[in-house]
Amino acid sequence: MEITRNLYRHRLRSFLAMSAIVIGVMALTTTGALAENFNSLLGGVVQYYRANVQVGPPVGQAASFLPLTKIDEIRQVPEVAVAFPTYDFSAKPGSASVVTFGFPDTIVASDPTEAAWSYLKTSYAQGHAIDADSSGEVVLGSTIDREFNKRIGDTIDLPVKPRDAPADFVNHTFSVVGILNLTRTAPDTFAYINITDGQMLLKDSLPAADRDAIDVTKVAQGIDVYAKSGTPISELDKIADRINSQVPGVRASKPSDLVNSFKQRGAILNAITAAAALLALIIGGLAVVKTTFIAVAERVREIGLKKAAGVGRLKIMGEFLAEATLIGFLGGVIGYGLGALITILANASTPPGQSALFLITPSLTILAIGFATALGAVAGVLPAWRAAHLDPVVALRNE
């Protein structure tokens, strides 16, 4: 009867220890999935910025545009291969801001041939790229396409007219010629149009009094500058310095500065993930240690009899280690499963037009379950060592 009660108590304590690991690993999985998604977003941005030099108006300059003649000047800078004008606009001007880790819906106007120079590659789920000399065509990212439920051949009015649009608000009808595959980064919420259409939207964005005063076909909001393929980021930094010194009236940003700033943002969520792992270590580890120590205390006589029968220390230690490791493994599997379920349900409830918040990856799966298993094994070492080194004579005498 006493043995049965001890067995029930031991199973209950094992369940409680496993529950502590489940909670810790569930927290690790959800915060880890949040960090993985954020790192995926930033990873795409880093890929883009590490391949080119961003050029814009000098800081403090009243004018917000660059003359297109600056492109020819920039192309004369040593090591510069090509340069492209760029334009971007909010796809939903005046819309209420929503807390999200993704990028806002944006209309991006650029030369279609620029895609060949970028490290951030996209592919097409449907359709094709914008034709070089076309107008009125648009390629939609996967998220913005899902929001507006468009197919190839459909039309979409951009920018989207807000409910409180002013009387002079203007938008235009574009034909959808391509839909991108999911990238889990910026292009998912982008609508890509040609440069001529970007200049048209630029004119629309100007105050009514300035629309005829500024020739939008001769200015750009920014310039993307590329060196030959494979140029390291350190060399791109030098190109940025040369542009600043040789081309007046522009400001070239060092790619390394932009990349490092984005990486620093990702470090915040990685720190949160590490904190969740530490929580799992403290709560789950202490629970396993306590459970295993109590198990040793309740099985002193059993251990003494085994030793008296000639069972070696390594075998006894292995039994307790295996039990602690199993608690960690089962707690890890259950905690990971619950955490993954939470992220799936949260992503499924994400409104159309917003990027998913969570991303489960194979590395996160291995980390969560492997961490819990290792945690159980490590937490069981000291109690197992104590069990293996019990004096059988003293143990039987005390019983």
Predicted confidence (pLDDT) per residue in 116-158, tens digit: 999 989 999 999 999 888 899 999 999 999 999 999 999 999 9
Give me the residue label for tokens 């499963």.
Answer: 337
Residue pLDDT, tens place only, 317-375: 778 788 888 888 998 999 999 999 999 999 988 887 777 889 999 999 998 899 888 88
Which residue, chain included where needed, has tokens 């034709």? 131
Q: Measured between alpha carbons, how far is residue 248 from residues 68, 199, 360 in Å?
A: 13, 24, 48
pLDDT digits (tens, 9 = 90+) for 36-77: 888 888 888 888 888 999 999 987 665 689 999 999 999 999
List alpha helices for the chain, DSSP H: 2-49, 69-75, 142-148, 195-205, 233-246, 255-298, 300-308, 313-348, 362-379, 381-388, 392-398
Q: Which residues pair with 53 in a beta bridge?
A: 225
> pLDDT band for position 192 (50/70/90)?
very high
Q: What does each C-alpha distance from 44 to 8, 173, 381 come to in angstroms?
A: 53, 29, 43
What's the pLDDT at 354? Answer: 77
Compute φ and ψ for 137, nearest 5 degrees: -110, 150
Q: Cα Rg for the chain, rounded, in angstroms? A: 31
> Left (φ > 0), alpha (ψ -120 to 50) or beta: where does 353 sit?
left
Q: What is the 3-state secondary structure (H, E, C) of 247-276?
A: CCCCEEECHHHHHHHHHHHHHHHHHHHHHH
Whole-angstrom CA distances from 313 to 46, 289, 306, 376, 393 are 54, 19, 10, 20, 15
Are residues 88 and 193 in contact, defined by beta-carbon separation less than 8 angstroms? no
Mean pLDDT for 244-253 is 94
How high does pLDDT run on average in the chain? 84
Rounded to 5°, the CA angle 284-272-354 comes to 120
pLDDT in tens, 156-174: 999 999 888 888 788 999 9
pLDDT of residue 256: 93
Cβ atoms of residues 276 and 31 within 8 Å? yes
Q: Tell me if 355 sits within 8 A of 318, measured CB to CB.
A: no
Residue 82 carries which DSSP code?
A: E
Phi-psi region of 346 (alpha: psi -120 to 50; beta: other; left: phi over 0): alpha
Nearest to 203 by CA among 89, 93, 111, 108: 89
Tokens of 280: 């799992």
